[in-house]
Amino acid sequence: MIKYLILAIIAAIATYLLKDVVSSLGYSAYKETLAALLNMSSIIFAIIGAWIAIIYPRAIGRAFKGKSINDKTLKDADTDADYLSELVEIVMVSAIVLMIVLTIQFAVPIMKEIVTGSWIEYSKYAAFYIVCLLTLSQLYAVFRVILANYFFLNDLRRKNVDGKVDTLHQ
């Protein structure tokens, strides 16, 4: 969770450094970014969710059935759990981004009527901070998807090579 705290700090620093620009921005400046976040989060949420269900049915089955497992299966379970934890984190980030973007799109028209006076400027800072944090978080999730695929492919290739070597030794 430290990585998301770092992203929050970066978003706060960006908000502070860009405070003069941020105060002149309206909701329309964020519409395209929010739409892109909504699309990207939806796609990642769906694809990674399906990937988890298709590639790791044994791990999911173990979680729900609660059967005891042998040593080899235990080793596979540990490997599956490592990959799954990474993928589940990505799905959670995308789900949270989806929920917050939907909340923003619902709340902004209402807030435009309620927020007045000096609160408008603070609302603009808060909006920039939230959109910046969501963007950084989603970019990090996409980067994690790329890394997860890269390491998954490397692990698969290593296992294929090990299998070929074992076949040659028999």
Going from N- to C-terminal start, the domains of the chain cover 2-169
pTM: 0.79
Tens place of pLDDT per residue across the chain (170 aa): 799 999 999 999 999 999 999 999 988 899 999 999 999 999 999 988 888 778 776 665 655 665 555 555 545 556 667 778 888 889 999 999 999 999 999 999 999 889 888 899 999 999 999 999 999 999 999 998 888 778 878 887 888 888 778 787 77
Which residue shows structure tokens 């969770």?
Answer: 1
Q: H or E segment at 9? A: helix 2-17
CA angle 128/137/25 to nearest 5° reads 15
